[in-house]
Structure 1
Amino acid sequence: MKDNIVTVKHLSFTYKDSKVPAVNDISFSIPRGSWTTLVGHNGSGKSTIARLLDGILLPNDNPRTVINVDGIELTEKTMWDIRDRVGIVFQNPDNQFVGATVEDDVAFGLENRQVSRSKMQTIVHDVLEQVDMLDFQKSEPQYLSGGQKQRVAIAGILAIGPKLIILDESTSMLDPAGKAKILSLIRDLQNKNGLTIFSITHDINEAVQADQMLVLDKGKLLASGSPREIFENEVLIKSAGLELPLFYKVKNELIKKGIHIPREVNSEEKLVKYLCQLNSKM
């Protein structure tokens, strides 16, 4: 049984210029090595949670709040230790670039950690190779495509050796093809490096392949569970104001029409294959 890399209890946070909590007394955990997706509308508190987990923000509303990351409880004294374990890929990669070239940018976090020059070169080469951007190491980030910029941002995070990567709407500025490529890349990197992924998105279709889903609405956690458990709860989906992914729309309609769909049929590809097999037997 997997242990939890993140444990959050009674998390609350209110911004100084607001009287309404951005996050209101929520608790959840993230199993080590898993892919957990947090979904909710804009303004639901998703990005606030990302910044709280990384120590960019500190809880200010509830004395019972506990944030534990990789066995370390978040405090002002430990936030730098936690940042060594957590990397965030933001929505707009341009906001993360600080180097004149791709290799300079990827090396930035290593320079801050006073990594030796020889070791730094090895790490930069390795992570750029992992994200298929080695040919662009001398390029200026501003001339890259959106997908290439995100690959460089991911490489910069990988370079510091995090155990948890937070994707804060990191594919929302990409077209569907670019989005699919980045998500596939991250899944491959997760499997190769034993990473834990915490994906924050308003795109419900991104959540289908997650191990765990969290549903957030107006700062409150409405539900947690597997994608199947969440998407098959139509009352929950409606109350959260979320759209069902196409796969679940089709699956639910077929079930309503009396067509049995086995639980192991949990993707569009499997559904098409199952329906073809069903049709061949008629």
Structure 2
Amino acid sequence: MKIQTVIHPSSVIEAGAQIGEGARIGPFCHVGPDAVVGDRVELVSHVSVIGATTIGASTKVYPMAILGGPPQNTKHKGGRTTLVIGENCTIREGVTMHVGTDSSRGETTIGNNGNFLAYAHIAHDCVVGKNATFANQATLGGHCEVGNNVYIGGLTAVHQFVRIGDNAFLGGCSAIVGDVIPYAIAVGNRASLRGLNIIGLKRAGLPRSEIHLLRKAYKTIFDRSRTVGENIEFAKAEFASSPTAMKIVDFIAGRGKRHYAVPSLKGSDGDDTDDED
């Protein structure tokens, strides 16, 4: 049995727009001619879907969100670029997501199951993995890469071109100007690392033995008695059997000359855990 598609008469659906089965378009929405609204998507009201934007199935978008706006990048010359939003996302009030630029990758990509709270912003050419949570007014500059299962706190801004590794936690009101390794907690104005996201790792089902190994790898990688290059070589040899530890090693080894966040000089690991874990 087909689910009925419902479009409120006050909304404007331009010729060429594709509306999926069972979609619900509430009052005063605007869907542009290059938009694709997937099956069972709900636009609650006053939502603008412009540009070449695709919204995945079962995503719900709240009032005043604007999806697919042109990039805020003077290098963009007006070519056709895209925004692709995954399935089962929640996009709350006032969220903005822009299409890519024609001088870069040309697409902004959002993974499945994302939760984007009020007034969050995702700029041009970003890649956001699955299960992301952006708290109120969390902001990505252009060209950022965000891994899976990442949490970004409210009022936190991530500088353009920054990479955020899988399962990282960025504390609220932070300025993230360098790459953040997988599984880490980063906090502060010009954020530093505050240890590993132990709570997130437990929730992800990582066994205790692997968490202990990951903590040892973290301390090895950021041992200030040796150079970063030496630490990486030590870690490659000592933790080769741990996929999670090697994810951090590979993340740093692949950075080129990029800046990345490091632990605070104050000396606290800041692991969000207790002595038993």
Compute the TM-score of the two structures, normalised by the length of structure 1: 0.25
TM-score norm. by structure 2 comes to: 0.25
More strand by share: 2
Which one scores higher on RCO, CA 8 angstroms, separation ≥ 6?
1
